[in-house]
Amino acid sequence: MTTYEKNLKILAKYYPGMDTIITEAKDHMEPDLEIVEESAYDGTTVLKIKKDHKSYYLNGKRNTKDPAKMWVDTLRELQRNAPVLMMGVGNPSYLQELVERTEKRITIIVYEPSLWIFLKFLEMVNIERWMEKHLIIFWVDGLEGMDEKQMRIMLGRILKYEMLNLSRRIILPNYEVIFAEKALNFARICREIAMREVVQFNTQQVFSNVMAKNLFANARYLCNGYKTTQLPGVIPKDIPGILVAAGPSLNKNILELKRAKGKAFIVAVDTAIKPLLKAGIIPDMFVIIDAMKPLELVELKEAKNIPLMTTLNASPEVLEYHEGMKFFYNEGYQFAERIFLKTGQPVQDIPSGGSVATNVFSLFCRIGIKTIILVGQDLAYTGNKSHADGTFQKVMEEEDTSNFMMVEGNYEEKVPTRTDFKVFLDWYNQSIEICQKQVADFRVINATEGGAKIQHTEIMTLSEAIDQECTKEIDIQECLGKLEPMLKEEAREWARKYLHGLPQEFEKLKVDSGKLKKSYEKLDKICNRKNIDQKEYLNLLKKIKKISTAMEKASTYQLVAITLSNAQYIMGNEEFMSEDTMQKEGKEIARKGILYTKNVIEMAELFREMAEDIFADLA
C-alpha cells in the first residue's frame, strides 16, 4: 500500500467518507496550477509551483527543516487544545515540526487552497501518528462541503474568546503570493470571527453588571406581555417591512416615510423614534434591546403606546415609561424560558446580529416578510456623522474619520466606518445571502441613500421603493389588536408565583455553592500531603463534577454565571492549561474552584436580596 493510500485510509478513520470525497474530487477537478517535484540536497522532495508564468518553491533545497523548526521555536509551549491555524501543506515540514514537537494535544486547522498540492502532501508524508497525537482538521478547497460558509461555522466553534490568546496562525511562505486572494480571505475570516468574539465578550462585560438588575425589573412584564412568535399569525407576509435605523442618512428621506404609513410594517430602532415622531411619523413598532439606553431617547408622549419589541435585558426605565404592548423574544435566559414554556407555544429566538437594527431585520425574517426596505441603515459615518440629527443631539457633530477603516459605499466609492458597524455589515452580508438561498423571492432594498454598501441588496431611493413596493393598504394596529397576551390567566398566576419564589432558588444556589467550595477546600488539603491517595483524589474530583453539574442546571445559576463572565473567562482560559504533576494540578483546580465558588456565593446572596426587593410588590 502506498503512503497516499495509507493516508486516505487514516483520514477516513477520523473523518468517515473523506477518502471518497478526495478521490471523487481528484477524478473530476482540473488542475489549476503545475506542480514540479524536485529533490533537495538531503534527498527530501520539495515542491515548486508554476503559476501565471512564474515559479515558486514551497520549501528550500539547501535546508528543508530549519524554517519550520525556527517557527515552532517561536511558538513556545502551546497549551492543551490551543488552536493553530495553518494555511498550506505544500511544505510538510511545518506541520511535521508542529505535530512532533508539541506534547499537549492541540487543535490544528490546516487550510490548503489547492487540492493538487494536498494530494502531493498525502504522497509525501505519513500522517498516521500525527492524527493520533493531535486533532488535525484538513480543510481543502474543492472538496465537497468545504466551502467558505462551512469554514466560518467550523472556525467559529474553535476560535472561542477564551482560546484567542492561546491561538497561533501561519500562512506558509509563498502561499500569500500564489494564492493571494485566498490567503487574504482566510486571514479576513479568521479576523472577523475573532473580532466577533471580542465584541461579544466586551458587550457582555459592559452589560453583565446591569443585566441581572434589568432582568429582574423587566421580568414582571412577561406576565402581561406578548411573544414575537405571535406576530406571524397577524402580520401579513405580502407587505414590505421597513426597517428604520438611525444612521445619518435618515435625515435625507425621513419625510418620505409618511407615504409608507398604512402600506407597510414600519419598525424603528429606539434611537430613530425621536426624529420620526418629530417628523409626524408614528412607526408601527419600535425596538429596544440596549441595557443602558437613556430614557431621553424615547421620552415622548407619542412613544408611550407604540407597540414595542424588547428584551428582558433592556433598560427598565424605558419599559416602565412605555405603556403599550410589549413583545418579547427568547434570549436563552433559563428562568424566563420556564415562563415562555407556559404559553404552550414553542420557544423561539431572534438571531441577534448584535445591533437593534439587525434584530428588526431578523424579526421581519421570522414573520416571513419577503421584501425588506432598509432606511437610515448607514453602517458608516456618512458626512462624518455617526447618527442622524435629532437622535443624540439636535444636530450631530461631525467627527474626524481620517483614521477610520474604509468600506465600499452605496453612493460613494469609500465611506468611513468603525469596528462594530463593520461587524454588523458582515452580519448583513451573510444573513441576506442565507435568506435569499432559503426563501424564494426574498429581497432587500437598501433605501438608505448613503452609507456602506450591503451585499445582495438592491439600491434605490426610498421614494422609488415606496412607489414600487407599498401598494397595499394595511392597518397594523388593527392586526396587533387581535392578539391576546401570551399567558392565559392560570399560567399568569403560575408565573407570578414562580417569580415570587426566585429568592428561595437563589438561597438554594448559595447553599449548593457552599458545598462545592468545601469540596475544593478538601481537594486542596489532599494535595498538600506528600503522598496523594490517587483513589481519594479521583473520587473527590468526581464528586466535584457531580455537584457542579447539578448546580449548573439551576436556572438561577445561569444569571450568576453571566454576571461573573470575567471570572468565567479566566477559568475558561486556564482550563486549557495543564500542570506537570497531579499535586500541582489538583492544587490549581482547588485554588480556582474556591475563588469561583466564593464569587458565586456572594453573587447568589446579592441576587436573592435583589429578587426579594423587586418581586415583593409583584401584583
Partner 1 sequence: MMKDWQDLYKSLGGISIDYLIYQKRDNIEQSKKIIPQIQKFVLWFLEENRYGIEAELYQGLSQNLVNILADILEALEQEDMVLMHDALTYGLLEYLELIVVNLKQEELVDDDV
- Are β-strands 241-244 and 326-328 bridged in parallel, bridged antiparallel, or unpaired? unpaired
Choosing from 22, 58, 415, 590, the residue that interacts with partner 1 (CB under 8 A) is: 58
Nearest distance from C-beta of residue 33 to partner 1, angstroms = 14
- Is 93 a residue that touches partner 1 (CB under 8 A)? no
Per DSSP, what are the bridge partners of residue 243?
Answer: 267, 374
Provide DSSP, 168-221.
Answer: EEEE-TTHHHHTHHHHHHHHHHHHHHHHHHHHHHHHHHHHHHHHHHHHHHHHGG
**CB-wise, 90 or 247, nearer to partner 1?**
90
Residues 512, 207: Cα–Cα separation, whole Å: 26
Residues 68, 62: Cα–Cα separation, whole Å: 14
Nearest distance from C-beta of residue 176 to partner 1, angstroms = 6
**CB-wise, 69 or 587, nearer to partner 1?**
69
Question: Is 512 exposed, middle or buried (CB count within 10 Å of its CB: 0-12, 13-18, 19+)?
Answer: buried
Nearest distance from C-beta of residue 518 to partner 1, angstroms = 49
Choosing from 4, 14, 15, 57, the residue that interacts with partner 1 (CB under 8 A) is: 57
Contact 254, 281 (CB under 8 A): yes
Nearest distance from C-beta of residue 255 to partner 1, angstroms = 54
**CB-wise, 88 or 275, nearer to partner 1?**
88
Nearest distance from C-beta of residue 63 to partner 1, angstroms = 4
Contact 84, 78 (CB under 8 A): yes
Nearest distance from C-beta of residue 519 to partner 1, angstroms = 46
- Which stretch, 53-61, 210-218, 511-519, 595-603, contacts partner 1 (CB under 8 A)? 53-61
Question: Long-range contacts of range 274-282, CB-CB < 8 Å, 24 or more positions apart?
Answer: 274/298, 274/300, 274/390, 274/391, 275/246, 275/250, 275/251, 275/388, 275/389, 275/390, 275/391, 276/244, 277/302, 277/303, 278/390, 279/254, 279/255, 281/254, 281/257, 282/306
Choosing from 44, 45, 174, 583, the residue that interacts with partner 1 (CB under 8 A) is: 174
- Is 255 a residue that touches partner 1 (CB under 8 A)? no
**CB-wise, 153 or 184, nearer to partner 1?**
184
Nearest C-alpha neighbor of 450 from the set 280, 234, 224, 253: 253
Nearest distance from C-beta of residue 46 to partner 1, angstroms = 9
**CB-wise, 46 or 594, nearer to partner 1?**
46
**CB-wise, 71 or 221, nearer to partner 1?**
71
- Is 176 a residue that touches partner 1 (CB under 8 A)? yes
**CB-wise, 184 or 538, nearer to partner 1?**
184
Report residue 519: phi and psi, to 5°: -65, -40
Which residue shows C-alpha cell 466564593?
Answer: 598
Nearest distance from C-beta of residue 59 to partner 1, angstroms = 7
Chain centroid, CA 342 distance in Å: 28
Nearest distance from C-beta of residue 89 to partner 1, angstroms = 14
3-state secondary structure of 558: helix
Nearest distance from C-beta of residue 44 to partner 1, angstroms = 12
- Is 170 a residue that touches partner 1 (CB under 8 A)? yes
Report residue 105: phi and psi, to 5°: -70, 120
- How far separated are the first and last CA of the chain, in Å rounded? 77
Contact 120, 35 (CB under 8 A): yes
Interface positions, 60-89, toward partner 1 (CB under 8 A): 60-63, 66-67, 70-71, 74
**CB-wise, 173 or 485, nearer to partner 1?**
173
Residues 526, 533: Cα–Cα separation, whole Å: 8
Nearest distance from C-beta of residue 185 to partner 1, angstroms = 17
Nearest distance from C-beta of residue 200 to partner 1, angstroms = 29
- Interface with partner 1 (CB under 8 A), residue total 21
* Cell numbers describing residue 187: 486571514
**CB-wise, 60 or 383, nearer to partner 1?**
60
- Is 54 a residue that touches partner 1 (CB under 8 A)? yes
Choosing from 177, 292, 405, 618, the residue that interacts with partner 1 (CB under 8 A) is: 177
**CB-wise, 60 or 514, nearer to partner 1?**
60
Number of C-beta neighbours around residue 482 at 10 A:
9
Number of C-beta neighbours around residue 251 at 10 A:
23
**CB-wise, 174 or 477, nearer to partner 1?**
174
Nearest distance from C-beta of residue 54 to partner 1, angstroms = 5
**CB-wise, 172 or 527, nearer to partner 1?**
172
Nearest distance from C-beta of residue 83 to partner 1, angstroms = 18
The interface mask with partner 1, positions 475-514, x = CB under 8 A, is: ----------------------------------------
Contact 327, 231 (CB under 8 A): yes
- Is 232 a residue that touches partner 1 (CB under 8 A)? no
Provide DSSP, 88-117.
Answer: --SSTHHHHHHHHH--S--EEEEEES-HHH
**CB-wise, 91 or 410, nearer to partner 1?**
91
Percent helix, percent strand, percent coil in the chain, to nearest 5: 55, 15, 35
- Is 549 a residue that touches partner 1 (CB under 8 A)? no
**CB-wise, 93 or 251, nearer to partner 1?**
93
**CB-wise, 70 or 255, nearer to partner 1?**
70
Integer CA distances (angstroms), 30 to 24, 142, 232, 578, in order: 12, 10, 48, 46
Contact 392, 275 (CB under 8 A): no
Choosing from 59, 96, 391, 565, the residue that interacts with partner 1 (CB under 8 A) is: 59
Interface positions, 391-410, toward partner 1 (CB under 8 A): none
User: In sequence order, what E strands does 228-340 have?
Assistant: 241-244, 265-269, 285-288, 308-310, 326-328
Cα angle 568, 569, 575 (rounded to 5 degrees) comes to 85
Nearest distance from C-beta of residue 72 to partner 1, angstroms = 11
* Cell numbers describing residue 41: 540536497
Which residue shows C-alpha cell 473567562?
Answer: 569
Site for partner 1, rule CB under 8 A: 54-63, 66-67, 70-71, 74, 91, 170, 173-174, 176-177
